[in-house]
Every structure is written in C-alpha cells, then in structure tokens.
Structure 1
C-alpha cells in the first residue's frame, strides 16, 4: 500500500495542500557575458518599441499594422482567452453547483396481483425545487492545485503571445531592412548598367577605329547582359519581400509597401549595445518565462493527482415542493428537503493513481529539462549574436576606409581625364570599382542591422 494512504488524518486536521510547492530549478548562469571593445557603454534605457529609435515612419507604420492585423497574433490572443476560460471552469469547483428544475411523472398500475380497486389507477407526482449537485470539499487542495496549474497555463499562453509578437516585430524589421537593401542594390546595379553601356559604346568606337578587337566588344556585351540578368533577379526578390511584408501585416499582394530611410540612414541611427550584459536580462525573454510557467503547471499537477490518494468529501442536497396536481403545486404543496454527505477513499485501484502520479512526475521532469535547455539556448544565441555584432562593425569600418580611398582615386583619375592625361576607359573602370565598394559597404550595414535586430529579440526585446 502506498505511503500516502497513512497521511489522510494528519492532512485532514491541518487542511494542507498536497504535492510539492514550486521552487525554481538551480541553473548556472554567467554573472556577465563577454565584453566587446567596440560596444558603446553610454546606453539609455531601452523601451519596448525599440524600433522607434530609427525615426522611420514607414517602418513604424508596418509594425503597427502588423500588430493589429497579423493572424498569428490573433491566434495567440484567442489561445489566451481559451486558457482563461479553462481556468474559470476549474475555479468553479470551489463553489457548489446549484440548479433549479421540475418534473412531472404519471404512472398506472396494471399488474394482475393488485386488487380490482387499485388496478388501472393513475398516479401523478409533480416536483419543483432547487438541487445541490455533488460538491467536493477541497480539504487536501486538489482543486487549489488545479487552479494553480490553470493560472500558470494562462501566464504561459500570455508569454507565448508576447513571443509571437516579438517574432512578428523582428520579421517585419528584417524584411524591411532587406527590402531597403535590395532597393539600394538595384539602384547601384542600375547605375552600373549605365557605366557598362558606356563601356560597350567605347569598345565599339575603338573597334571602328581599329584600336580594339571584336573580343573586347563581345566581353562588354557579355558584362552588360550579366548586369541586366542581375537587375531582373533583384526585381523578383523585391517583389517577394514586398509580398512577405504584406502577408505579415495583413495586406494582400499588389498593395503598395511604403519606403522610408535608406540602409545607410538606418545604420546611422543604430542602437548602441552595452559592453557588459547581465545574465538576468534573460528573465525578460518570453520563451524562458513561458517554459517556467509550463514547469509551474506540471508541478502543481502532481499535487492534483496525489489528492486522489486521500478521502474525498462531498455534499448533496435538494429543497423543493411537490403536489399530486400540477395546478396546486404553488398553492397547496408538500415541501421537502434532503441533505447528504458522503466520503470516499480508494483502497485498491490496481495502481491507477500511482501510474498517474508517475506520469505527472515525469512530465514535470521533462519541463525542468526544457526550462534549462531554453536558458542555455538563449545564452548561446545571445553570445553568438554579440560576437557577430562586434565583427560586423569591424568590417564596416574597414569598408568605410576603402570607400574613402576609392573615392579619392576616382577623383584623381577624373582630374587627369579632364586634363587629357588619362583615357575615359580608366575613369569608367574607376567608377565601377567605386560603385562596387559602396555596394559592399551597404551590404555589411544591412547585415549589421539584421544581426542587431536578432540580438535585441534574443535579449527579450531590449537590454
């Protein structure tokens, strides 16, 4: 016989709640994450709407529209409402269930064993009143544990909703940054096509003069075809990103997607990240908060199951009036009432309760592992993104220096071309090099903004 069968009297007197009280699992966390020299320590307190620091009305408008119209958020909100309804249903067990009803029955004796005076006689009974269905008194905290689990599930669904909203905000920002990057790239490739057409015209002129071969003309044509193909690919990518943004914000394909700041302008308004980040920032991550609430619910469920080891006390009752004639049930009734109490305690169930208890304990252990795994995954994600944040800044600084040197070279070549010292082909080639360097710089700025957006999400929406 299980050890819990020997405790009912003690718990009955004390009115305790069975099952383990929740304690947060011990998890080893670093006091401070790695520091990176390139990060600015002068950081103001982050707000929930961190994207507003860019001052880009188009980006803010897309996010506001997404939060209002996105179907994933609506689904998550409905899930919260469902969990609230389930919790209300569980809490109803703390109160007696009282109903009102009535019945009218009519019977006739036809058995041959009855006397002739009783044979074939009709009997009518009309009843009306209140009834108390079986009401279980929560001596051992069964329904208190169930309520605890239900409320934890509500919080879990709310944190999941926050996670969905964070993911949506991140997706919109990433898509918007990609769209502006593609726009910028398309403009630069279009300018590159202008230069290449001039190179082709110059090659043809040289060929006509006999100073260039047909191979040079063919190479120029091939380069121009490559650029035209690249422009077609960029148009397709832009259309795909626009449609994805429309889907995220509840729009339909074909609607216009607003544009605001360029990638370089957005980068100039980037958010500064502090050099040392305390690990307690992870407490704001909705996935960690949701994992802990799932753990709390599974812990409470152990107590709910264990309560079945102990006696259950129930009350029943009825109050009303009855009459042989329906028309007189309110005028000349016979009043009645009854009240009852029952107790039930399992003695042998073939291991059913023990099996349910083992199941509940196993589910709790699963949630412990899931909670710890979520924390470790968060630490890994943040540390990786912090490193990318630093290295991307190094690349940007290097490309900015390269861009300055290329611009200076282009300026000098232009002066020599105007002075008749340098041929026009040199100027065109220098312009192409300058444009390519600028394109690489924009690409790194786009990568920086994307990594930073993911880092902010990894930190729970701020720092």
Structure 2
C-alpha cells in the first residue's frame, strides 16, 4: 500500500507540471524612446536606478517636512488600508496555493448499539459496536491540466500587485504631505506679507489723512489710500483662513496632530529639494509602482486564461483513507485490524450551454483590458515626467523673471514715495507703486510654490518616495512579507 501511495504521488507530481497559461510577453511601451526636447524642456539626463530612487529624506532638505512625512507613514489611514490589503491578498494566495497539496485529516469514530430480538437475525437481542481510526484525503483534485496552479499563479500576481499598490499609495502620500506643507508655508508667507503691507498702507493712509486736513491732499487721494488699506485687509483675512485650512489638511494627511517638537521650517527661497535626473522612459517600467501594479494585474489575467482553458478537460479527484477498524475498542490497534478505502472520481464536462466557452472568452477580454490599462499607465507616466521636465525649465526662468520684477517694483515704489512726499508726483502714482509691489510680491510667493509643487510632482512621476535613504530597510520588509508556503 505504501509503495502504491508513493507511485501515485510521483505520478501526480509529474502530471501537475502541465500548464495551459499562455506564454507571457510584456507589451511594448506605447511611448517614444526619449522625452520631448525643446526650449521649454529641461534636458532628460541619463540616470542610474540608485540616483532615480533617491530616498525622500535625501530629496527633501527641510527637517520639519521630514518629520511630517515620517509621521504620516506611521499614522495615515489610507496607507494602513493599503498595508492591510496586502495582508489580505497574501492570505488569499496562501489559501489558493494550499489547494496544490492534499489535505490530510485524522478521524476517529465510535458507535455502540443494541438490536432487539425481533430484529436480530439470531432471534436474540444483540449489543454491538464499531470503532475506526484513520488518516484520509478527501476530494483532492489531481491538477493534470494546471487549473489549480493557474489559480495559484493568479492569486500570487494579485498579491504582488497589491504590494505595488501599497508603494504607489506611499509615493502619493509623501508627495501630498510635501505639497500640503509647502502650501502651508507659502500661505504663511502670504499672511506675513499681507500683515506688513497692511501696516505700510495704514501708515500711508495716516500721512495722507494729515495732508488732507491741512489741504495738501485731496479727498480723492484720501479715498484712494483707504482703498489700498481695505484691499490689504481682505488679503489678510483670506490668508488667515487659508493658513488654518492648510494646517487642517496636514493633520488629515498625518493621521494625527502636528508634532509638538516640529523643527523650524526653512524659508521658501532656500534650497528645499534635490534635482533628480529623469533618465529614459524605459526606466519607468522598473521604477514606477503603478506600472508594476498594472503589469502584475496583466499577469494575473493571463493566468486566469490558463484556468479557463483547463476547465474544458476532465477533473479527477481522489478520496482515500487508511487506518484500523474493529467492533471492540480494545482490539482497534491490534494486528489484522487494518482497513483502507480508495475512491477516485472523474468529471467530464459534456454540455454546459456554452458556459465554459464564455468563461474563456471573458478571461481573454479581461486580459485585453489589462493590457490597455498597462499601456495607459505607461502613457500617463510619460506625460507626467514630460510635464515635469517642462515645468522645471520654465519655472526657473519664470521665477527669476518674477524676482527681477519684484526688485523693479521696489525701486519704483521707493522712487514714487520720495517724489510724492516732496510734492513732485501725485498720490495716484504712489498708490499705483504700492499696489504693484504688493501684487509682484504675492506673485513671487505663488510662483515659488508652483515651482516646488512641480519638483515634488516630478519626483513622484519618476517613482521616488517609497524608499527612505537606502533600499536595505525596504528589502528586509519585503522579505518578511514573502508569502509562506
């Protein structure tokens, strides 16, 4: 019996190597081999994977922002859901993979009964019993056509896809925290500018009011000066509101209150981020988690085709048990009480009204959908990086021009104020200089925020943001999450 079981096991192992999964071929990337070139684009320099996968602690130079990102990675609820999804899909993979092996169960039963005399074959009342103890395999499917293995491969690819989804969620979280933080800092700068400008406008209004009282300035000059004061008050209230709302947005992303020991923020005009080389479009295939996620989903769909194909062939199941049986509990494990049973079964689909063919067609269509999603993810990544390269070049030029504009307006303001105070120019020229300077300073802060946001979005588009400083910690985490057999 033992030799027979060994022979069956060897045969099963050989036959189970069959697979009807189509050979997987990675679809060609539906984008150009290089990023766009031109005066609006920053050159896409070649980069190694180490350079491109720069950790967020290396990319962001502001210690306060680093604290906030660290807190969000611990407490953010969206990231927690993504991690729990990984655990769920890993469990599903382990469940599906377990179907490749027979489930062995130990069973023990005992019955004792009395048969009345009028029902007994001997005409006398009889008391009897039956006891069994055995090991058995119930309805184990011989995976001759690879159906179970295909489903196991599909579950594995789904698990791997969920891991890439978690990394994608983390990248988005890092970028969202950075953008929210820079918006908070920019609105605080706008608030400080509004406060300083309001003070300057109020002082100008007081001087104009005094001039009006002695007949030097007209009522029109005074009204125009007051208009500037009220404009600054509107801006002050606006940025007070936005700073409060920015802080609320950060608290939501962090999953908790702002750290009590938050470091001093760097000024907006400091060097806050690194400049990453973009590399080549083909690099994105190995770097962007959303592309890897889409490819794993494609592989899962491909494996489903194998399972759908195998469903056309017979299903062979085995049920077997071996143990001891006796009518007397004391004799159950004595020699000669061995018992066994072997019950193979085969099921061959003959007529199912086209259900199996429809299932195969459906799985093929799902694969085509997965191919389209994979190609779309590559095209989206290409566009995001191209947009980032255009933003990097043009924002540098725009910000420098805006700084020059602020300087020109400051010179204009000082000259107009001096000429107004000595009576050379009218109050209208002075008010125009005030408003122009305020507007230019506001635009400079807005442009700096837009430049920082573009650098953060380019970092995200290149697939950065899920490693911290080196890949060692992540590699250990990935190893710990490898599905167990």
> Shorter-chain TM-score: which interval?
0.7 to 0.9
Q: 1:291 to 1:80 in 2, by over 3 A?
A: same
The corresponding residue for 1:134 is 139
The corresponding residue for 2:282 is 280
Match runs of 1:162-241 below 5 Å = 162-241=167-246
Work out whether residues 15 and 143 of structure 2, in 8 Å CA contact, stay in contact via their aligned partners in 1: no
The corresponding residue for 1:8 is none
Specify which of 380, 385, 391 is matched with residue 383 of structure 2. Answer: 380
For residues 426-451 of structure 1, the C-alpha deviation after alignment (integer angstroms, 9 at most, x for no partner) is 77865654343233212111111111
5+ long unaligned stretches in structure 1: 1-11
SS of 1:310 mapped into structure 2: coil
Q: Which deviates more, 212-221 or 443-452?
A: 212-221
Question: 2 CA distance for matches of 1:255 and 1:218?
Answer: 46
**Number of residue pairs matched?**
446
**1:347 matches 2:350:** yes
Q: Which deviates more, 221-230 or 140-149?
A: 221-230
The corresponding residue for 1:65 is 71
Q: What is the RMSD of the two structures over their aligned residues, measured on CA atoms?
A: 3.1
Question: 2 CA distance for matches of 1:28 and 1:363?
Answer: 19
Work out whether residues 39 and 272 of structure 1, in 8 Å CA contact, stay in contact via their aligned partners in 2: no
Work out whether residues 246 and 255 of structure 1, in 8 Å CA contact, stay in contact via their aligned partners in 2: no
The corresponding residue for 1:248 is 253
Q: 1:41 to 1:25 in 2, by over 3 A?
A: closer
For residues 355-407 of structure 1, the C-alpha deviation after alignment (integer angstroms, 9 at most, x for no partner) is 21122112111111211222222223332333233332221121122233334
For residues 118-164 of structure 1, the C-alpha deviation after alignment (integer angstroms, 9 at most, x for no partner) is 5x544321222211112222222222212221111111001100110
For residues 194-231 of structure 1, the C-alpha deviation after alignment (integer angstroms, 9 at most, x for no partner) is 11111210121012102223343334334323322321
Question: 1 CA distance for matches of 2:437 and 2:233?
Answer: 19
**1:92 matches 2:92:** no
Specify which of 457, 471, 475 is matched with residue 454 of structure 1. Answer: 457
The corresponding residue for 2:107 is 101
Question: 2 CA distance for matches of 1:256 and 1:221?
Answer: 42
Work out whether residues 281 and 460 of structure 1, in 8 Å CA contact, stay in contact via their aligned partners in 2: no
Q: Which deviates more, 188-197 or 354-363?
A: 354-363
SS of 2:340 mapped into structure 1: strand
Work out whether residues 413 and 422 of structure 1, in 8 Å CA contact, stay in contact via their aligned partners in 2: no
Work out whether residues 305 and 357 of structure 1, in 8 Å CA contact, stay in contact via their aligned partners in 2: yes
SS of 1:309 mapped into structure 2: coil
Q: 1:123 to 1:190 in 2, by over 3 A?
A: same
Question: 1 CA distance for matches of 2:336 and 2:133?
Answer: 10
Specify which of 326, 335, 339 is matched with residue 338 of structure 2. Answer: 335
Q: 1:215 to 1:13 in 2, by over 3 A?
A: closer
Specify which of 3, 22, 25 is matched with residue 23 of structure 1. Answer: 25
Q: 1:367 to 1:110 in 2, by over 3 A?
A: farther
TM-score after normalising by structure 2: 0.82
